[in-house]
Structure 1
C-alpha cells in the first residue's frame, strides 16, 4: 500500500444502505452514529450483543441473523466489516472492492478502503481525527486529540470566531454554586462567545477573568437603578445590549429558575422580541450540601427534600411559605438566603412540632476555597450564627441527613 495520507470526506448516508457484518463490540460502538446519520442499516450476524439486539428490536436497524453471504454488499453505499471470522472478512472485503463500496475492516486497516475517524460533536460541528497512515496507527492518540479539540470547543477554551452573522440574543446561564469547574460545558462555551456578560455577585466570578479583553462585563449589583426597581434595571440592560446586535450572557449563580428570577428576565425579553436561551445550572440547594458531605436524601433517613427561600421571616406578611406544614415533614429542609432569618425560622419550626435537637448545618461559600461548615441544632442555630459569624451566602440544611456523613463539622 502506498504511504499516502487518507483523504477525509463526510459521508451523507440518509436513506442509503449501510451493511454491518458482525454484531459484537465494534458494531455496538459504531451503530449509534450510523443510525444518527439516517442510514438504512442492515446487520448481518449470527449473534449480537444485548445493546445491538435492542437496536434491532426497536426497529433502528434490520438484523438478518446469519453469517455473511456473497452478495450482501452488492447495493450498499458503505460497509463495516467486524466479524471474528478472518476468512469471511477477507471475502466480504473483496466483494466490497468489486462493487466499489467503501469498506472499513476492524481486523485489518491495511486491507480496508476506508478508515473510521475518531469523531466528536459540539454545537453543530463534527470533529473527525485520522491518523495519516495505516502502519503505526495510534488510536489512543487519535482519540486524545479528538477529545482535546471537542472539550476545548465545549468549554470555551478553544474559541473559533463566527465569521457569519450571528443572531443577537440573550442566554440566561446558570453558573452553578461558585466553583468555576461546576458550570455546564454549554454555559462555559456561551460565555466564551459573549460580547456582554451581566453577572450576579453569586456567579462563578473566577470565570470572568478568563474572558477575552473585548468582552464587556457588567456587575448586575452596580447597574444604576434610578427610578427603577433593581430587576427592571437588569431587564432593561439585557434588552438594550441585545438590541445593539450583541450576544449577551446573563450569568447567574446556581440555576436561573431556583430563586434566580430567571423567568422574570425571560418574560421581559420575550415582550421585547429578544430571543433567549436558558442554560440550567447546578443548584446550590443540592451541590453545596453535597460538597460539605451532606446528602439531601439518604436511604432509611430521608425520602424527600424541600427547598425554601428564607429571605423573609416566617412572621412577615410577604412570606408565601407554609412553615407549620414544613415542621411536620420528616425529610430534609434546605433553606437558601436565610442566614439572617434562621433564628426566627428555627423558633417557628420548633413551635410547630419540629424537635429542638434536630441537626442543622450551615455551609458558607460552598464549593469555593472559602467554604466552611458550621453545625448546630434548631435550639442553638440562632446563637451559633452570631457567635460563629456565619455570613451569606450560606446554604442551611435541617434534618437527620446532617449527621449521616463521616464528618459533621468543619
Structure 2
C-alpha cells in the first residue's frame, strides 16, 4: 500500500463471507462476522474447538477440505474473505483469487499484502454513555498497538473525558421516550475526585442541575447546548426551594432529556438525594444514584485527620449542625465516648454546639479542627479545642463551607499535615 488507507464500515447483514482456515485466528474472524450479521462459510480440512461449536450450533457452514479455485465466486460471489491458514502459500493464493474476483481480502499472515484490514474494534456497552459508539483503530499492521489505542479511547469515552453525548436526536432519544435523572455525587470539590460513572453521565447530559459545591469546574467542559440550571444555596439564602428543585428534575426528564443532578459530596449523606429520588420515582421518572466521595470523610483526610485511628477510636458519627446542637446531641447519644464527631454545616452555630457537647460530657480540651474548602487550592485548617473553638474560629475568620471534626484523632494531623494532592 502506497497511499493512506480508506476507512470504511461494512454492512454484512445476510451477505456471504468466506473464512479460509480452521484455527483460533479464523475463529475470531468468523465470530466477528457473525456478530455483524454475515453468513459465514469456513473452508479448512480441520477446525478448532471454537469453530466446531459454531458448526454444531449451525451458526456457520464448514467445508471440510482445502481451499480450491472458484470457492470465492461459487455458488455465489463472496463479499469478503478472511484467510488465516498459517500457510503463506495458501494465504497468498486466496489473496490472488480474491483480487481477481474483486473481493476484499483480509490476510492474517501479512497485513501489507492485504487489500483490506480489520481494525481493533470496541463498541459502547448498552445503557452506558458510550452506547451506540463504535471505536475502530488501525495501526499500520501493528495489531497490538491498535488494540492498546482502542482500549485507551474506549476508556476515555466511558469515563466522560471525551465527548459522548448524542447531538443528533434518534428514535431512542425522542421526547416520546422518557428521560432519566442521575443523582451524581460530585465529591468534595476537586474535579478529579468525581467517580468515573459520574463523570461519564455528566458528559452525556442534556441538562445539569447543580449546586454551588462539588466540581463546578467540570461545567466548563460541557457543550454550549447543554442547559445548566444553578440552584446553589448559600447559608441563609435559598433562592430555589427543594420542592422546586424536585419539580425541575421531573420536568426536564419528562421532555425526554438526560438530567444530571450534580451535588457536592455524596447525594445520600445530608444531601437530600433521597427526597429527590422519591420525587422522581413517584412521578414515573427513571432515576439512578451515583455515589460520591463524601466530604464527611474526605475533607478531614485532606487535612491529615483520619476519622478513625487505631489506638484512638474505632468509630465516628456524622451529623448536621445546621439547626443547632440538638441534632448533634441526638446523633452522638448512642455513640462510643471516644467516637469522632464530624459536623457538616456547623460553622454558624459552632458556639452553641460546642457548649452543648461539653455539658453532655465531652472534655473541654477535646481537640477540634475546622477544615475550610477541602480539596481546593484555598483549603485551610484551624485547630483548637472544644472550649475555645468558637472564639478561635471567629479570630481566624472561618467561613463555610467547612467541616468540623471533634475528637482526639485531630492530634494525628500534627504528624501528617495536609494530605490533599495538588
TM-score range, shorter chain: 0.5 to 0.7
C-alpha contact 2:321 2:345 (8 A) present in aligned 1? yes
Alignment pair present for 1:172 and 2:183: yes
Which of 155, 159, 164 is 1:159 aligned to? 164
Cα distance in 2 between the residues matched to 1:171 and 1:387? 41
Are 2:405 and 1:397 equivalent residues in the alignment?
yes
Residue matched to 1:358: 366
Q: Secondary structure in 2 aligned to 1:197?
A: strand
1:102-251 equivalences under 5 Å are 110=109, 117=120, 123=128, 124=131, 131-132=138-139, 137=142, 139=144, 142-161=147-166, 163-165=169-171, 166=173, 167-221=178-232, 230-251=241-262
Say which of 373, 389, 393 aligns to 1:385. Answer: 393
Q: Secondary structure at the match of 2:219?
A: helix
Distance change (3 Å), C-alpha of 1:132 and 1:391: closer
Instruction: Tell me, in whole angstroms, the C-alpha distance in 2 between the residues paired with 1:104 and 1:196.
Output: 53
User: Shift in Å at residue 371 of structure 1?
Assistant: 1.0
CA contact (8 A) 2:124 2:154 kept: no
Correspondences of 1:3-402 after superposition (within 5 Å): 75-77=52-54, 110=109, 117=120, 123=128, 124=131, 131-132=138-139, 137=142, 139=144, 142-161=147-166, 163-165=169-171, 166=173, 167-221=178-232, 230-315=241-326, 321-326=330-335, 328-402=336-410
Given the superposition, is the C-alpha separation of residues 195 and 378 from structure 1 closer, same or farther in structure 2, using an over 3 Å criterion?
same
Shift in CA distance, 399/120, structure 1 to aligned 2, threshold 3 Å: farther
Residue 352 of structure 2: SS of its match in structure 1? helix
Tell me the TM-score normalized by structure 1. Answer: 0.67
CA contact (8 A) 2:250 2:280 kept: yes
Secondary structure in structure 2 of the residue aligned to 1:339: coil
Shift of 1:278: 1.4
**Contact 2:351–2:389 (8 Å) recurs in 1:** yes
Deviation at 1:355, TM superposition (A): 2.0
- For structure 2, the residue ranges without an aligned partner over 5 or more in a row are 11-21, 25-34, 36-46, 56-63, 68-81, 87-107, 112-116, 234-238
C-alpha displacement at 1:294, in angstroms? 1.6
Q: Report the CA distance between 1:170 and its aligned residue.
A: 1.6
2: CA distance, partners of 1:321 / 1:243:
40
The offset of 1:206, in angstroms, is 0.9
Q: 2-side partners of 1:324 and 1:74: how far apart? A: 67
Hey, what's the Cα distance between the residues in 2 that align with 1:296 and 1:104? 62
8 Å contact kept, 1:152–1:159: yes
Q: Please give the secondary structure, in 2, of the residue aligned with 1:234.
A: helix
| Superimposed CA distance per residue, residues 301-358 of structure 1 (whole angstroms, 9 cap, x where no aligned partner) | 221121111112125xx778244445x5213221111111222222222222222222
Asked if structure 1 preserves the Cα contact closer than 8 Å seen for 2:23 and 2:84, the reply is: no
Query: Is the 8 Å Cα contact of residues 299 and 403 (structure 2) preserved in structure 1?
Result: yes
* SS class of match (2:52): coil
**Matching residue of 1:54:** none
Greater Rg by CA: 2
Residues in 2 aligned to 1:181 and 1:341: alpha-carbon distance in whole angstroms: 32
Greater displacement, 247-256 / 120-129 = 120-129
Q: Structure 1: how far apart are the matches of 2:317 and 2:85?
A: 54
Task: Tell me the distance in 1 between the aligned counterparts of 2:254 and 2:240.
Answer: 21
Alpha-carbon distance change, 376 to 171 in structure 1, aligned in 2, over 3 angstroms: same
Asked if the contact 2:371/2:379 (under 8 Å) is kept, the reply is yes
Structure 1: gaps of 5 or more residues? 10-18, 22-36, 38-69, 79-94, 223-227
Which SS does the other structure have where 1:251 is aligned? strand
C-alpha contact (below 8 Å) 2:165/2:203 kept by paired residues: no
Q: CA deviation at 1:230?
A: 1.2
Q: Cα distance 1:229–1:211, how it changes in 2: closer, same or farther (>3 A)?
A: closer
Contact residue 195 and residue 248 of structure 1 kept, 8 A: yes
> Could you tell me how far 1:367 is from its partner in structure 2?
0.6
- Determine helix, strand or coil for the equivalent of 1:298: coil
Q: How many residues align?
A: 331
Contact 1:6–1:133 (8 Å) recurs in 2: no
Seen in structure 2, the aligned counterparts of structure 1 residues 259 and 289 have a Cα distance that, compared at 3 Å, is same
Contact 1:121 1:150 in 2 (8 A): no
